[in-house]
Structure 1
Amino acid sequence: MSEMGRIERKPTDRELIDAAVAAGRVTVCPPGPGLAEPLRPETRLPDAASRGISDRPQKREVRRIGVRGALEWAFGIEHASLRFDDADYFGGCFGVEYLLMERGRLKAKIDGGGRSPIDDDADLIADAVQWALPRGSALRVQAMAKAMSMPWSSPLVPKVEPAAWVCGRGGWRGRTADARGLGAEGWRPMDRVNRLGRRVREAVLYTPITWAVSPQQVARRRRDHLDWWGDLLTVRNALRGVDLRWIEVTDAMPPMQPWKDQS
């Protein structure tokens, strides 16, 4: 073969490295713990199986809660809502396509982001409330569930306070008035001896009071609580016929007369 047709083979990287090592131009370092040395068994991280973690999705369990807990979960946590406004004022619910067309016609910005879709069980609970109760009662149940409270949420007792206040040397006190203004039920001026030893006639003073919390207000709050409790009983019975997937409504009810338990 002629020199023109001879093909020279170039040394590979491995051959060049071996030649440099043989010539003493490369210092070979032993493998250290941070380079090629494998981790010791005691230093290896535990795998998922040894830590008790399964790769499979966890099985979802059915929760057994009372009707108040179910309503607070549906309206307060999942943010389900009643649909009275759409049905009453617009003659029915509009579809998503109609809303998108109207927003496009008005050149309105499409809402984006926000929270995840509402759970199907929460929508079914809201529909049961709307179907089983009148409008006013359903709105009250929804408001109480969103606030996670009940009409009788704090002790309420009748009490009185001064009708007017005045600030003096001793601080704030009730404003006094002449007892003669009460008519036949008032007191006439009384005689007394002052510090100088003189007999003087002075008016008898009293403090007009008013009801800060009247008995009528307490009775109204109790009636509201009893009505709300009856609405929850109706909703509980209505949910018995609803096929919920992950919630089972139990017989548990909030206290019917919590004012009897307050100290």
Structure 2
Amino acid sequence: MSVQGRIGRAGGTKIKRALGVQAALEWAFRVEKAQLELPLPQDVTEEGFGFGLEYVLLQRAALGCKIDGGQHKIGGYTHEDAEVIAATVAGLPDSLGGKRMAIRVAELARAGLTPDWLPGAVSRCVPVDIKRNRHGDRAVSVVVGTERVLLRGKWRSVEVRACPVTFKPDPGQIEAARRGYQAWWCALGWVRDGLIAGGMLREVGVTPAMPKAAPWEQR
């Protein structure tokens, strides 16, 4: 079902729309155009541990007074559940990346993307440079020294050449991409747990579903 699906009713009881945390984030930031606000509370410093759910609850209370205005969504109304989700993302603790991770989570959700963990990337040994001509491709070699050799009864100096190689993609690049994915995944887990435990959403029900923790290990 689309994240824009309507809330239904059964027997007069409102049925919450069930969304995994990634879908809920995409609904909030991409569909509802919620904005990520990162104000610093007076009692929290830059070296603190994020805003925590207490601050999110304060944001929630404030939202209850001004949700009719649609304060962020130009020409429309931003659903208050989307504002709550955005406020929760803003509360990511420093141990999970803090403000920088909050911005990354919001940007990816707004674009409907998952972090690029370089699917299928395998580091391979390849020549540093390739020379192309009509006969095909040839690895470029460089002089690494000279040797004296006896050739047709005469001693001659000859070049010793070698082909410089490298590994592409760099193993460190692959590792960094997958660390970045796992950091994002952990941040989503924190947001999911906070939304479920906080019980602040009125029409959206966040489920325990999560993206794969390490998709590169799946067969």
TM-score (norm 2): 0.64
Does structure 1 residue 74 correspond to structure 2 residue 23?
no
Partner amino acid for 1:121?
Answer: D
Assess if the C-alpha contact under 8 Å between 2:129 and 2:139 holds in 1.
yes
Q: 2:104 aligns with which of 118, 135, 140?
A: 140
Residue 255 of structure 1, aligned match among 194, 212, 218: 212
After the TM superposition, which parts of structure 1 deviate over 6 Å for at least 4 consecutive aligned residues?
A: 189-193
| 8 Å contact kept, 2:88–2:194 | yes
Please give the alpha-carbon distance, in whole angstroms, between the structure 2 residues aligned to 1:227 and 1:152: 12
Query: Is residue 178 from structure 1 mapped to residue 162 from structure 2 by the alignment?
Result: no
Aligned to 1:233: 189
Cα distance, 1:145 vs. partner?
A: 1.3
Counterpart amino acid of residue 211 in structure 1: F
Flag the 1:218–1:66 CA change in 2: closer, same or farther, 3 A.
same
Q: Is 1:151 aligned with 2:111?
A: no
SS in structure 1 at match of 2:145 = helix
Is the CA contact (8 Å cut-off) linking 2:7 and 2:17 kept in structure 1?
no
Instruction: For 1:145 and 1:189, locate their aligned partners in 2 and report how far apart those are by CA, in whole Å.
Output: 65
Structure 2 CA distance for partners of 1:232 and 1:189, relative to 1, 3 Å: farther
Higher strand share: 2
CA distance in 1, matches of 2:123, 2:20: 32
Q: Please say if residues 142 and 164 of structure 2, whose CA atoms lie closer than 8 Å, have aligned partners that are also in contact.
A: yes
Ranges in structure 2 where 5+ consecutive residues have no aligned partner: 1-5, 10-14, 41-72
Which residue matches 1:120? 80
Question: What residue is the counterpart of 1:34 in the other structure?
Answer: none
TM-superposed CA distance for 1:172, in Å, is 4.2
Q: Tell me the matched-pair count.
A: 168
Tell me, in whole angstroms, the C-alpha distance in 2 between the residues paired with 1:225 and 1:260. 13
- CA-based RMSD of the aligned residues comes to 3.1
> Is the Cα–Cα contact under 8 Å of residues 20 and 209 in structure 2 kept in the other structure?
yes
Larger Cα-atom Rg? 1
The whole-number CA distance in structure 1 between the counterparts of 2:129 and 2:92 is 48
Q: Which amino acid aligns with 1:174?
A: A
User: 1:65 maps to what in 2?
Assistant: 19
The amino acid that maps onto 2:215 is: P
1:187-240 alpha-carbon deviations (Å, 9 max, x no partner): x577899xxxxxx98645432122332111222122212211111111011102
Alignment gaps of 5+ in structure 1: 1-56, 89-112, 182-187, 194-199
User: Structure 1 161/143 Cα, relative in aligned 2: closer, same or farther at 3 Å?
Assistant: farther
Contact 1:190–1:203 (CA<8 Å) still a contact in 2? no
Identity %: 32
TM-score between the two structures when normalised by the length of structure 1: 0.54
Q: Does 1:163 align with 2:120?
A: no
What is the SS of the residue equivalent to 1:252? coil
